[in-house]
Amino acid sequence: MASSRKVHPLFGRAGATPRRQGAADPNAVLEALWQAVSAIPRGRVSTYGGVALAAGLPGRARLAGRALREAPEGLNLPWHRVLGAGGKIVFPPASSAYREQCRRLRAEGVVVKGGRVDRAVLLAPGER
């Protein structure tokens, strides 16, 4: 599916060159990660490690982060449901990304406090 090269304005850096090479099927890996993200139910959250695991890429949390950064806007991924280990927002509290994520989560009824969410809303690995 020829995804658009346009990335999210909140994270996409000017002059970023979209490269899809290096691995056998880099696009397949990205799609697997994006799919895992879109599978997170509303009102719940997951972690980068959890997303990577769900995509069949254990130990590649970093790659999950990359995938999200490179994700085209058109996919409308629920990126705000992806947090760091333990359920904490990885963005600097002063950043617009942090505020946006916070806002979106609260809009779904998720309580964000001190840049973290309650354990209960955090999706356990292997959990739906």
Partner DNA sequence: TGTATGACCCTGA
Partner DNA sequence: CTCAGGGCCATAC
Listing DSSP states for 39-66 in one string gives TSPTT-BEEHHHHHHHTT-TT-HHHHHH
Report the residue from 40, 45, 91, 117 that binds DNA according to the rule CB under 7 A.
91
- What does residue 47 show for φ and ψ, rounded to 5 degrees? -120, 165
Q: How far apart are CA 64 and CA 72, in angstroms?
A: 14
With CB under 7 A as the contact rule, the residue among 9, 22, 109, 126 that binds DNA is 22
Residue 6 interacting with DNA (CB under 7 A) = no
Position among 6, 16, 42, 127 found at the interface with DNA (CB under 7 A):
16
Q: Is 76 in the site for DNA (CB under 7 A)?
A: no
Minimum CB distance to DNA smaller for 50 or for 109 = 50
- Window 33 to 62, contacts with DNA (CB under 7 A): 47-50, 59-62
86 binds DNA (CB under 7 A): yes
CA 43 vs CA 18, 23, 27, 40, 101: distances in Å: 32, 34, 28, 9, 13
